[in-house]
Amino acid sequence: METQEFIPIDFFCRQHGVDIAFISSLQDFGLIEITRIDETAFISIQQLAEAERLVRLYGDLEINIEGIDVAIHLLQRINDMQTEIQTLKNRLHLYEAIL
């Protein structure tokens, strides 16, 4: 693996003013994935935006880890429902065009 695809967790934590234990808790809840390379923990570039969003929820809104977990799952359910609604609307328009 190339380390260019990853950011060290300690660097991320310093830049965002959070403790490494917070990032470990996010991993424990399955909200982000930490990769270990040669005894060093990294976060992938692809997960960077999500990790920053979780840090903002934690810092700006003062939501604890459990609350973040609930919020993320509810947001995912809302997105899934919106996708389903759009699919049903498209299907309805197809049937309306036939009539």
Model pLDDT for residues 3-53, shown as the tens digit of each residue: 469 999 999 999 999 999 999 999 999 999 999 988 899 999 999 999 999
How far, CA to CA in Å, does 92 sit from each of 23, 97, 98? 44, 9, 10
- Does the structure show a pLDDT above 60 at 78? yes
User: Is the pLDDT assigned to residue 2 strictly greater than 70?
Assistant: no
pLDDT of residue 96: 85
95 pLDDT tier (thresholds 50, 70, 90): confident
Using CA atoms, how far apart are residues 54 and 48, in angstroms rounded to an integer? 10
User: Rounded to 5 degrees, what angle do the CA atoms 75, 58, 49 make?
Assistant: 65
Give the chain's domains with CATH numbers. 3-98 (1.10.1660.10)
What pLDDT is attached to residue 4? 64
Confidence of residue 1 (pLDDT cuts 50, 70, 90): very low
d(CA 55, CA 62): 10
Report the distance separating Cα 68 and Cα 30, nearest Å: 11
